[in-house]
Structure 1
Amino acid sequence: MDWNILIKGFHQFLLLEQGLSKNTLASYQSDLECFAEFCTEREPPLGLRDLETIHIEEFLAHLYDRKLKASSQARHLSSLKAFFRYTMLEEIINQDPADKIQGPKLERKLPEVLSVDEVNLLMDSIDLSLPNGARNRALLETMYSCGLRVSELCDLQISNLHLEIELIKVRGKGNKERWVPISQLAIKHLNNYINYSRRTGKIVDEDIVFLNIRGKRLSRQSIFLILKKYADNAGIKKNISPHTLRHSFATHLLKGGADLKAIQDMLGHESITTTEIYAHIDQDFLRKTILKYHPRNYS
């Protein structure tokens, strides 16, 4: 069976049955097209039913030779495993050739975070009197206040802002919705943007909160550039991205005494183990907390 037909069928399955986001679907598509190219360029070419465990191992070795990071190799393998589960479900194959294969061991990399002082410097570097100043302040305040993914910020809708009760409804990964509290400071800047400066510009995507000069939703790249601009203005030397504000949100909540399960819910993590990485970030704070409060720590 043709690889393109198989990948298209898998794409439809993920879209209709699993409800995955466009970004996740694009990752699966890219990974499987890479694997299909690997199979078709062999002599003789490999079809789906020709695959054995050795072929998957050779593909992983091929990725290693291309100097792909371990995390990228692991993602490719995860995509293949999902694809093989689908083809078994559809009874195209009766055995998973990747079943016995384990991915590369990944180092647990702690995310970069800003200090509270650095967040304040970042926000204060935004000149509200300049064009898009009100929008950009509202954007960064909302991202930090709610711990949003950049894709969630791009898709945030006015109809999902319930500022009178200090909550917003967010559509996250897999189109799953969650309610997230929003700070009064973020509400202040959102109201200033929505009720005044947003109305003076062109509006095409009426229900989208953050719009570009053409009246359409801001792109992920635009938000990245906005953040980098103000980080530079604030003199912040760290290599930051929109996800840095999400990491900072979680770390500051944990440091302030918030429950890990509550942080998990606000971030929209499926598993608590994903959230637990934030418990490892501020080791100095945790050490001082134990030394201060443990009953056996005395001189």
Structure 2
Amino acid sequence: MLKRVENDYVRREQDRIELLDDLFDIFYRAKIAEGIAERTLETYRENYRFFCGYLKSNDFELKLKSVTPSVIRNYITWMLKSKRKWNGHSHKPEKYQTEGLSPVTVNMRLKGLRTMFRFLHAEKLINSNPFANIKNVKETEGDINILSVNQLKKLIRAPDRTTYSGYRDFSMLILQIDTFCRVGEIVSLKKKDIDFERGIIRLRSTMTKSRRSRVLPISEYTMRLLRKLIDYTSKKSNSEYVFLTVYGEKMSANHFRSRLKKYAEAAGLDMRIYPYLLRHTGATMFLEANHNTRLLQLLLGHVDPRQVLRYTHLSSAYIKSEHEKHSPLNQVVK
């Protein structure tokens, strides 16, 4: 009897909740209750808005009945073949506004929706999951790029260290190369997170992508830079953050990205320079010198050791050097 009452209640809920906005709201509130990171919540919101934009532009109602496997597959095809990259972004040159998103981007767009509908089905708020048989787009492994030592030297020479902003940016570059921190972790660094006596920085769980805190060593050179920077900013601002704008506000990740782009141009580097590239480069150089993947995993903050492989594609020069040393041919041809 109780089971029948429960089922009747579920059916009434299913009849009542037809608007996608209502279903998303239930899902979103549940994820907040689970303590999901804010950046993940923002990704859920963005991917949902993106999907709703597609539905509206194709005259679909924003209701559950509009979300069918056929509609989802058409959505995927549209993203792959027709969606214009950076459409509406005035700061992006025309040459970058090409048609079709990458498989990686498409799968990222699908991930949040997949999570949402899996949740709704598990909670018995929908009768079936329209994403159940939708597969990810096959991804091809892209080229792995890292900066050479000479390129890194050119890059760190670009900021004008006689100015506050140049010295700050130089310090941020050095810190990322030294520790492989993510840019979000760097801009969120507070003065209290630096232990100058022990030569370490503490990344709080609220700062990290994995939601796990970690402690990273920093070199003497990096410590001197940070100490000088903090001594200066402490006289100008009461902010608790290490890296500040010229107005005394916390630096944003996007601000640093745009500054990095300008330095790359000033250094004459004919390639796209972005914070992740510095992280990847530092990790690769560390592994080539140390060969300790477990230690690198801890420094990078990855839970799964397999994730380290994405950052540690060894340079062709190192591979050639090791091949020369250990080639079986050395034992055959003397």
For residues 132-281 of structure 1, what are the structure 2 equivalents within 5 Å?
Answer: 132-170=165-203, 171-195=207-231, 197-203=232-238, 206-281=239-314
Q: Report SS of the residue matched to 1:168.
A: strand
**Residues 160, 89 of structure 1: CA spacing in aligned structure 2 closer, same or farther, 3 A cutoff?**
farther
Q: From 8, 11, 14, give the equivalent of 2:31.
A: 14
Note if contact 2:284-2:313 (Cα within 8 Å) is conserved in structure 1. no
Q: Report SS of the residue matched to 2:216.
A: strand
TM-score (norm. length: structure 2): 0.79
Q: Take 1:234 and 1:158, find their aligned partners in 2: how far apart are those partners?
A: 30
Segment of structure 1 superposing worse, 83-92 or 267-276: 267-276
Q: Report SS of the residue matched to 1:81.
A: helix
TM-score (norm. length: structure 1): 0.88
Q: Take 2:196 and 2:29, find their aligned partners in 1: how far apart are those partners?
A: 37
Q: Take 1:288 and 1:18, find their aligned partners in 2: how far apart are those partners?
A: 47
Percent identity reads 24
Q: Take 2:129 and 2:314, find their aligned partners in 1: how far apart are those partners?
A: 38
Q: Report SS of the residue matched to 2:311.
A: helix
Largest Rg, 1 or 2: 2
In the alignment, which residue of structure 2 is the partner of 1:126?
Answer: 159
Count matched residues: 295
Q: Take 1:33 and 1:133, find their aligned partners in 2: how far apart are those partners?
A: 38
What is the deviation of 1:132? 2.6
What is the deviation of 1:214? 1.7
Unmatched 5+ stretches in structure 1: none
**Residues 279, 174 of structure 1: CA spacing in aligned structure 2 closer, same or farther, 3 A cutoff?**
closer
Q: From 39, 52, 57, give the equivalent of 2:73.
A: 57
Alignment root-mean-square deviation, CA = 2.4
Segment of structure 1 superposing worse, 225-234 or 27-36: 225-234
Note if contact 1:201-1:213 (Cα within 8 Å) is conserved in structure 2. no
Unmatched 5+ stretches in structure 2: 1-17, 84-99
1:164-208 Cα shifts (integer Å, max 9, x gaps): 22221222115332222212211111111112x2134234xx221
Note if contact 2:280-2:312 (Cα within 8 Å) is conserved in structure 1. no
Segment of structure 1 superposing worse, 171-180 or 69-78: 171-180
Greater length-normalized contact order (CA 8 Å, ≥ 6 residues apart): 1
Note if contact 1:114-1:244 (Cα within 8 Å) is conserved in structure 2. yes
In the alignment, which residue of structure 1 is the partner of 2:47?
Answer: 31
